[in-house]
Amino acid sequence: MKTVDQVVSEWTEEEREKFKDLIEECRERERASIENSRVRKKNLNEFMESLVSLSSVAHELEEKTEKLGDALLRIYLYLYNKEIPSS
């Protein structure tokens, strides 16, 4: 995609003078667009890093929950096999 300056470079001096306010406005919008794109990419990278971290923590939580469930089942089976004293 051409920049504003590339497009304007193809114009005559008369056209540049006639549309100088519009050209300046377009340059400002172009600068803002470039900055917004830079910030968007940065935010997207940070978001992806957060998703990777979240995925890692979720996997870790799943493993620990499974171990806890196994431990609870072992305790239950241990207690189930013991005789219950009568009152």
Q: What is the pLDDT of residue 8?
A: 96
Q: pTM value?
A: 0.65
Residue 66 lies in a domain: yes
Instruction: Determine the structural domain holding residue 21 and report its residue range.
Output: 4-81
- Flag residues of the chain having pLDDT under 50: none
* pLDDT score of 46: 98
pLDDT given at position 6: 96
Number of domains within the chain: 1
Q: What is the pLDDT of residue 85?
A: 66
For 4-55, the three-class secondary structure string (H helix, E strand, C coil) is HHHHHCCCCHHHHHHCHHHHHHHHHHHHHHHHHHHHHHHHHHHHHHHHHHHH
Q: Is residue 86 part of a domain?
A: no
